């Protein structure tokens, strides 16, 4: 099941095919949808940047690391994802 811990596999749908990692295909699809790269290399459509913030539990290093990897992959296709680390509210 990939990154899903075995204890949680029962809650995952097994009949859904995973989406393949395809940065080239993602670039083509973003272009097709009108999200063009600007001079800085990030994408925008109608003057609106393709950007958002990932909220991550700062108490879990593995989640922070995962968010960083996601951020890096998104940047490769021109998406500006920022990371905001938040403490847990136990």
List C-alpha distances in Å: 90 to 59, 66, 85: 11, 22, 15
pLDDT value of position 12? 81
Mean pLDDT of 1-19: 79
Rounded Cα–Cα distance for residues 45 and 43 (Å): 7
pLDDT value of position 6? 81
| pTM, rounded to two decimals | 0.80
Element (H, E) at 43: strand 43-45
Rounded Cα–Cα distance for residues 14 and 41 (Å): 37
- DSSP secondary structure code for residue 18 in this structure: P
Q: What is the pLDDT of residues 61-90, one digit of tens each?
A: 999 999 999 999 999 999 999 999 999 876
pLDDT exceeds 90 at position 5: no
């Amino acid at each position: 099941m990939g990154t899903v811990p075995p204890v949680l596999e029962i809650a995952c749908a097994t009949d859904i095919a995973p989406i393949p990692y395809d940065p080239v295909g993602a670039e083509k699809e973003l272009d097709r949808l009108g999200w063009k790269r600007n001079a800085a290399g990030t994408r925008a459509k109608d003057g609106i940047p393709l950007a958002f913030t990932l909220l991550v539990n700062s108490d879990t290093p593995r989640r922070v690391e995962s968010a960083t990897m996601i951020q890096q992959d998104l940047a490769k296709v021109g998406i500006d994802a920022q990371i905001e680390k938040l403490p847990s509210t136990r």
